[in-house]
Amino acid sequence: MDLQQIKQRFGIIGGSPKLNHAIGIATQVAPTDISVLINGESGTGKEVFPQIIHHLSARKHGPYIAVNCGAIPDGTIDSELFGHEKGAFTGAHESRKGYFEVADGGTLFLDEVAELPLQTQVRLLRVLETGEFIKVGSSKVIKSNIRVVAATNINVNEAISKGRFREDLYYRLNTVPIQIPPLRDRREDINLLFRKFSADFAEKYRMPAVRLNENAQKSLASFPWPGNVRQLKNVTEQISVVEEERDITLEILAKYLPSHQNSKLPMVIGDSKAGSDFSEREILYKVLFDMKKDMTKLKKIVLDLVEKGVDPMVHEDNATIIKKLYQQVDIPNEPLEPVVMQSSNLDNLDNLDHSEQYHEPEEIIEESLSLEEREKELIIKALTKHKGKRKYASEELGISERTLYRKIKEYDLN
């Protein structure tokens, strides 16, 4: 059977060299019993290739069973694959054959094989190596003459490094790998696939087939198609059903193509909790680093004031210093009100160190204790200046009117 006959028999559309290469490998390994691992993104049509391998092999008259490993709960996956004995677990009212026993003499296709639990992976490895398995709740060894074809859409090497997939099972399955190209790597097939899907839906819904003009065809071929053939088929069906116009322009097509300007982020494989802890740790480091930078800026401001002969402890408004610290604005030259300084504080100012390691805990404590009084004074000044009008006072202070109202009640300024 030549390449074109295989495509016609299994409904494969396209003439991409990468697609033809994948089909060629499948036909070469079909007559053997070698295990095959099919790699490809979601929606590329990986499920067709196990059928090619099965129907071109000596097992074509035997059963062919496809199992989606990701759709079976972890608690029942062993029972589904290997069967169970009566009473093996709660709800096991009778014995049951698993897929490995039912597919004896045929082919078993394990889709999304990387989703299998590690315990099940150990059982699968034993079947592949010895052809033997044991039902859940039994001690009897059962022989099975079966060929396994597996498929996955994730990076298996990354899953191995994360401890999600056994390396020995990977090498046992990956005797012959088949890589299915994504749709963006076979752009010459995109418009051909669209015409095929359009004709199929026209027959299904009994309506004329939609057609793309030249600009729409170019846009369709340049789209990245993250969902691959499955996404293209869905878009074609939407256009066929929704649009009354059968001649599709670029403007009409654009309504059905989602924006693809966003960057593609890699999928994280591993414990989500571990990732969360790592993010929280990063945030904590950043906060500490920002605090260190803020302290450095504050010390520089104090040093500048000292060098200019201004005592930083007698400034009219601490909020002005904080504003300069966070917004990088100049401190206005306002008249200063003298206050009495303690001699210990003066001595501390004389001994200021200009290095990055300088730290003065006494000054920080005194500043934090005076913030409420300073805030209260600023609110009173703003209200006095604007004759009690809260709207203008809040604008003067740079806070919302609701916050000002709360502060007035908090400080009992009514």
pLDDT digits (tens, 9 = 90+) for 161-177: 999 999 999 999 999 99
Asked if the model's pLDDT at residue 276 lies above 90, the reply is no
* 97-106, 137-146, 349-358, 370-379: range with lowest mean pLDDT: 349-358
Contact (CB, 8 A) for 148 and 113: no
Nearest partner of 44 among 3, 74, 16, judged by Cα: 16
Strand partners, 211: 247
Averaged over 112-138, what is the pLDDT? Answer: 93
Domain harbouring 95, CATH code:
3.40.50.300
Please give the tally of structural domains in the chain. Answer: 3
What are the CA-CA distances from residue 369 to residues 112, 321, 407 (Å)?
A: 62, 15, 17
Q: Are residues 43 and 150 in the same domain?
A: yes
CA count, 13 A, side-chain hemisphere, 302: 23
Instruction: Give CA separation, 201 vs 8, 207, 231, 240, in Å.
Output: 19, 8, 15, 7
pLDDT at 78: 93
Look at the alpha carbons of 376, 382, 388, 393 in this order and tell me if their dihedral is positive or negative.
negative
Structure-block tokens of residue 176: 């012959």
Structure tokens at 130: 């010895």
Q: Return the SS3 of 147.
A: strand
Answer yes or no: is pLDDT of 261 > 50.
Answer: no
**pLDDT at residue 326 tops 70:** no
pLDDT over 70, % of the chain: 77
Answer whether residue 118 shows pLDDT above 80.
Answer: yes
Sign of CA dihedral 336, 341, 343, 348: negative
Per-residue pLDDT, 330? 44
- Host domain of residue 196: 187-254
pLDDT tops 60 at residue 180: yes
* 227 and 146 both lie in a single domain: no
**Percent of the chain beyond pLDDT 90?**
58
Could you give the strand order of the β-sheet that contains 36-39, starting from the edge strand earlier in sequence? 64-68, 107-111, 147-152, 36-39, 176-179
pLDDT at 308: 66
Please say whether the beta carbons of 109 and 47 come within 8 A: yes
pLDDT at 191: 96
Section 334-341 average pLDDT: 43
Distance CA 270, CA 2 (A): 44
Of 21-30, 39-48, 116-125, 377-386, least confident by mean pLDDT is 377-386
**Would you say residue 262 lies in a domain?**
no
Residue 146 pLDDT exceeds 80: yes
Q: Is residue 263 situated within a structural domain?
A: no
Claim to verify: residue 103 and residue 195 sit in the same structural domain: no
Instruction: Give the pLDDT of residue 366.
Output: 44
Q: Averaged over 231-243, what is the pLDDT?
A: 95
CA atoms within 13 A on the CB side of 342: 6
Domain end marker among 224, 254, 284: 254
The bridge status of strand 247-248 relative to strand 211-212 is parallel
Residue 368 has a pLDDT of: 42
- Can you tell me the distance from the alpha carbon of 202 to that of 190, in angstroms, rounded to the nearest whole number? 18
Answer yes or no: do 215 and 84 share one domain.
Answer: no
Which of 130, 159, 181 is a domain's end point?
A: 181
Residues 7, 9, 12, CA angle at the centre, nearest 5°? 35
**Together in a domain, 116 and 172:** yes
pLDDT at 218: 95
Does 165 fall in a domain?
yes
Q: Is the separation of the CB atoms in 19 and 189 below 8 Å?
A: yes
Is 146 in contact with 105 (CB distance < 8 Å)?
yes
Which has the higher per-residue pLDDT, 146 or 391? Answer: 146
Residue 42 has pLDDT above 60, yes or no: yes
Helix, strand and coil percent figures for the chain, each rounded to 5: 55, 10, 35
Q: Is 170 in the same domain as 72? A: yes
Q: Name the DSSP class of 343.
A: H
Is 41 found in the same domain as 90?
A: yes
Task: Give the DSSP H or E segment for 318.
Answer: helix 318-327
In 3D, which of 256, 396, 251 has the Cα closest to residue 319? Answer: 396
- pLDDT for the residue 290: 74
Instruction: Please state which of the ranges 38-42, 52-56, 315-319 shows the lowest mean pLDDT.
Output: 315-319
pLDDT at 284: 67
The partner residues of 84 in beta bridges, in order of sequence, read 96, 136
Length of the chain (residues): 414
Token representation of residue 342: 């303690």
